Amino acid sequence: MTYSISKAEQELQAKRETLNLRWYPRYHLAARAGWINDPNGLVWFNGWYHAFYQHHPYSTQWGPMHWGHARSKDLVHWEHLPVALAPEGPEDKDGCFSGSAVVDGDTLALIYTGHKFHGDASDEANLYQVQCLATSRDGICFERQGIVVDTPPGLHHFRDPKVWREGDSWYMIVGARDGETGQVRLYRSADLHQWHDAGVLDEAEKEMGYMWECPDFFTLEDKRILMFSPQGMAAEGFNNRNLFQSGYLIGEWQPGQPFVRKSEFIEIDHGHDFYAPQSFLTPDGRRIVIGWLDMWESALPEQQDGWAGMLSLPRELSLGADNRLQMRPAKEVEGLRGAWFPWPVSTLKNQQTTMVENCEAMEVILNWDCANSSAEQYGISFGDGLRVYVDAQMQRLVLERRYPQHGLCGVRSVPLTAGASLKLRLFFDSSSVEVFANDGEACLSSRIYPDAARRELMLFAWSGSASISEAGAWQLE
């Protein structure tokens, strides 16, 4: 099959009319139809935020990748634009894979991976991934400029370029796999067209993965953050429980110098579904990150409804006193708020009580007084498939989902400080929950699939009492 933007648009228009919208997000960004995965090209250009994403418009399965495209004035209300890239050239005939976007004067430049096989696609020896450039003056229609970085000798997996400007030069990092070792490679350019190899910025040691996907590199409060999604890290206790992870290293770096690590690898989100996060700067200098709110090889029940996948809420990054990233909803998310409903509850004891009969799109605020709570478990449930609660015996905040009819059951958790209060912001959408704890100290994001008749929110406390100092919900418009 030959691909083109016009064919993709025709397909999306036809499919859009047949979607089942029972789980389609009310306020998260998803494709008009078909498949979506990694966010790409997050950027501010000519008065708009632009979000591109990996997209297969022809089915709800991963397929030859296109770049979907949407724009927003406020990061929460998105307008769909025509598909930006289709795999229609010799350099990307088997897919336009992930990448980034930068503003170069009056031009918006997309730098992406061209995915192609020279021969039998079942033989990885025939795989070549190259970095390509496409440019636009209006931010909507893009002119392809072809390959700007070829595949390094001996490599086959070489993808997901992230480009930024520093001083008089452009820099690019690319995720790669060298044998069984994941790495990030560095390049430098004066013009986005001619790139010079600057070596390996960092690579895996011990059990840090065989491939480092979707790398990002930025400065936060004088520290350098290398954020990436390693493949092949083994689960260890409560950590690395997903098939693939997303996390970061903190270090020091200056152009021409090696990257010096100052931290271990730290997961950035502890839920079931968060991958391939990418960051960008707002006009007022905030570092915002958006991720794919799904996980590879996980069941996606919405595929039967004509669509698959979505992106996370935009999240602002900061660096805590302990040199760990903190991630909280971008302030623009508050623009979704409608009516506020305070919940008249202060103590729960061996009970559960319904607070909302039918939750569709809500932000819930819960401040638990853990020092004055004796219950073994206390928290909030959504229908019969989701619980977010404190496990006092383990001293952990737990997100538990149970949808056996869809093959999705499991638990994720983060540690709590004994005796400290717990402030939660929980964002419920049609098929997702994002939990932010203690103003960004931890985040857990998961897809959920409630039955239409079971969308009630209930507070509970078992084997003792739980004290709550604030509780309520914002209706999200």
Closest CA to 464 of 345, 373, 368, 367: 373
For residues 157-171, one letter each, b for 16 or more C-beta atoms within 10 angstroms of the residue's C-beta and e for the rest, the string is bbbbbbbbeeeeebb
Give the 3-state secondary structure of residue 301: helix
CA dist 279 and 327 (Å) reads 12
- 43: CB partners within 8 A, 6+ apart: 49, 50, 100, 101, 102, 103, 108, 280
Got the DSSP string for 245-258?
--EEEEEE--TTS-
Residue position matching structure tokens 């152009």: 255
* Largest interatomic CA distance in the chain: 67
- 146 burial class (0-12, 13-18, 19+ CB within 10 angstroms)? middle
- 286: CB partners within 8 A, 6+ apart: 316, 330
CA dist 215 and 161 (Å) reads 7
Closest CA to 446 of 477, 403, 404, 393: 403
Give the 3-state secondary structure of residue 302: helix
Residue 336 backbone dihedrals phi, psi, to 5 degrees? -80, -15
Considering 38, 92, 160, 202, which one is annotated as catalytic? 38
DSSP helix, strand, coil percent of the chain (3-state; round to 5): 5, 55, 40
The CA-CA-CA angle for residues 76, 34, 301, to 5°, reads 90
Got the DSSP string for 74-89?
SSSSEEEEEEEE-S-S
Assess whether 38 carries a catalytic annotation.
yes
For residues 35-44, one letter each, b for 16 or more C-beta atoms within 10 angstroms of the residue's C-beta and e for the rest, the string is bbbbbbbbbb
Quick one: DSSP state of residue 312?
Answer: P
Residue position matching structure tokens 């506020």: 340
Q: Enumerate the active-site residues.
A: 38
